[in-house]
Amino acid sequence: MLLNQLSVSYKCHSSIGNSLNLHTMIDEVLQTFTQETDAIFATFYLMKNSFEQIGCFGKEIPYDINQFLSLCDEQQITQCSYEESLTVVLFKLENGLLLFMYDKSIDLNFICSIYENLRNRLNISINSCLNYQTVQEKNLSLEQEVKKALDKSKEKEKQFFEQLKMAQMGELIGNIAHQWRQPLSVISTAISGLRLKKEMSILTDQDFYEYCDGVLDTVMYLSKTIDEFRDYIKESNREKEIIVQDRIKMALTMVESSYKMEGIQIIEEFMEPKPLTFRLILGELLQAMLPILNNAKEALMVKEQKEKWLKYAVRKSEYNIIITLEDNAGGIPESILDKIFNPYFTTKHQTQGTGIGLYTCYDIVVNHLGGNLRVENTSSGAKFFMELPLQINYVI
């Protein structure tokens, strides 16, 4: 008899607190207590912020819980008769109520002593489940808030890039206007020469074809410029495999005329002879390079020196494609060198710019292209290193 009582007590004790999910934990307690103490029915009511039945086990017996609530004792286990053959045991806890129904023939003294001995353990386990549930709800709420914040941040970032693109568009159009002057002059001269020779009846077939070839070549050049400009400004998420050397030259071509007007030489320091391929969204590499090129031009414009230049190079290391852009404008003050890639940081007066250019360069190279962007001062000026991962992009 004693061994049997110890076994029942142990099993009831062991069924408590095996899960932090309140429903799961209560289900195990109700099932174990019912089976081990020969209860006919068992259920639990959560009595915290609301009155809620959580789990039941055994034979369903109709009853009205309200008729028992007034009988509950905060400190003691309450027993009361129900119908002719049943005894109801009410076990009040800190945040709930356990209700058991037994046959009247069962001696409940030992059973009630088990419940009383397990009161603290039940309270601790139920409170732990409730605390865990509260934490889970707060975590879910926090996750939703974080998601909203991330969505808002992504939307702001999208607007940010659109603003940058629009800010740069005016300068690009100016560069294209400079770039088109000479080709348009070539076309105008060719057509004028063609017309003049025709009027003077000295136009030969060779002259005609030479003029036409010259005009067609120039038109193709203008068309290519427009295509590249369109690729840069259009909204597109389409990836394309490009040759890095070609895109570098394209970016330099877009600023070449404005550089010439300021007396700035563009010097090729080194160009990797084998084509280096890279997959990216069209326009991203140009968008990363143009702010650096424009900043270099602006820095050189205010310098009173005979020689003004920008040197560029494209090299292949073991793991990276390395693009360097170096000017001789004197460099960046050491006090701000580690801040120039921060959002909205600028050395310009607030009426001259927003300072978003170099942050955008960094964001594109690091977060979009999976590379790295850094800058250091040389004896001549500032030198930017744009490193793009080579492992899966380089084609031998």
Per residue, the 3-state secondary structure of 149-205, as one string, reads HHHHHHHHHHHHHHHHHHHHHHHHHHHHHHHHHHHHHHHHHHHHHHHHHHHCCCCCH
Three-state DSSP state, 358: helix
C-alpha atoms less than 13 angstroms from C-alpha of 96 in its C-beta half-sphere: 23
Q: Residue 355's pLDDT is what?
A: 45
Q: Residue 50's pLDDT is what?
A: 75
**Sign of the four-CA dihedral 41, 42, 47, 52:** negative
Q: Residue 99's pLDDT is what?
A: 92
For the cut 90, the answer to whether the pLDDT of residue 40 exceeds it is yes
Chain centroid offset of residue 169 CA = 27
- Separation of first and last alpha carbons in the chain: 85
Three-state DSSP state, 356: coil
Q: Residue 168's pLDDT is what?
A: 61
Q: Residue 322's pLDDT is what?
A: 96
Name, in order, each residue with C-beta under 8 angstroms of 89's C-beta and a sequence gap of 6 or more.
Answer: 77, 78, 79, 98, 99, 100, 101, 102, 108, 111, 112, 115
Q: Residue 396's pLDDT is what?
A: 40
Q: What is the mean pLDDT of residues 193-204?
A: 87
Q: Residue 353's pLDDT is what?
A: 41
For the cut 70, the answer to whether the pLDDT of residue 167 exceeds it is no
Three-state DSSP state, 83: coil
Q: Residue 344's pLDDT is what?
A: 67
- Alpha-carbon distance of 197 to 306, in angstroms, equals 44
Among 271, 393, 270, 375, residue whose Cα is nearest residue 329: 375
pLDDT digits (tens, 9 = 90+) for 327-354: 999 999 998 888 888 876 765 533 344 4
Q: What is the mean pLDDT of residues 239-261?
A: 86
The pLDDT > 70 percentage for the chain reads: 86
For the cut 80, the answer to whether the pLDDT of residue 249 exceeds it is yes
Q: Residue 394's pLDDT is what?
A: 46
Classify domain 237-396 at the CATH topology level.
Answer: Heat Shock Protein 90 (3.30.565)
Q: How far is CA 318 from CA 3, 262, 312, in A?
A: 75, 38, 20
| CA angle (314, 372, 258) in 5-degree steps | 55
Going by pLDDT thresholds of 50, 70 and 90, the confidence category of residue 285 is confident
DSSP structural state of residue 74: S
For the cut 60, the answer to whether the pLDDT of residue 300 exceeds it is yes
For the cut 70, the answer to whether the pLDDT of residue 284 exceeds it is yes
Going by pLDDT thresholds of 50, 70 and 90, the confidence category of residue 243 is very high
The pTM of the full predicted model, rounded to 2 decimals, is 0.52
Going by pLDDT thresholds of 50, 70 and 90, the confidence category of residue 215 is confident
Query: Is residue 224 a contact partner of residue 246, using CB atoms and an 8 Å limit?
Result: no
Q: What is the mean pLDDT of residues 57-77?
A: 84
Name, in order, each residue with C-beta under 8 angstroms of 161's C-beta and a sequence gap of 6 or more.
Answer: 360
What value does the mean pLDDT of the chain take?
84
Going by pLDDT thresholds of 50, 70 and 90, the confidence category of residue 87 is very high
For the cut 80, the answer to whether the pLDDT of residue 157 exceeds it is no
pLDDT digits (tens, 9 = 90+) for 44-61: 999 877 788 988 999 988
The answer for 390, left when phi > 0, alpha when psi is -120 to 50, beta otherwise, is alpha
Q: What number does CATH give the domain 2-117?
A: 3.30.450.40
Domain limits, the chain = 2-117, 237-396
- Alpha-carbon distance of 186 to 366, in angstroms, equals 42
- Alpha-carbon distance of 164 to 351, in angstroms, equals 16
- Alpha-carbon distance of 289 to 285, in angstroms, equals 6
Q: Residue 269's pLDDT is what?
A: 96
For the cut 90, the answer to whether the pLDDT of residue 368 exceeds it is no
For the cut 70, the answer to whether the pLDDT of residue 192 exceeds it is yes
For the cut 80, the answer to whether the pLDDT of residue 129 exceeds it is yes
Q: Residue 261's pLDDT is what?
A: 78
Going by pLDDT thresholds of 50, 70 and 90, the confidence category of residue 66 is confident
Going by pLDDT thresholds of 50, 70 and 90, the confidence category of residue 391 is low
Q: What is the mean pLDDT of residues 83-109?
A: 90
For the cut 50, the answer to whether the pLDDT of residue 97 exceeds it is yes
For the cut 90, the answer to whether the pLDDT of residue 272 exceeds it is yes
Q: Which two tokens stand for residue 173?
A: 């159009």
DSSP string, 260-288: HHTT-EEEEEEE-SS--EEEEETTHHHHH
Going by pLDDT thresholds of 50, 70 and 90, the confidence category of residue 304 is confident
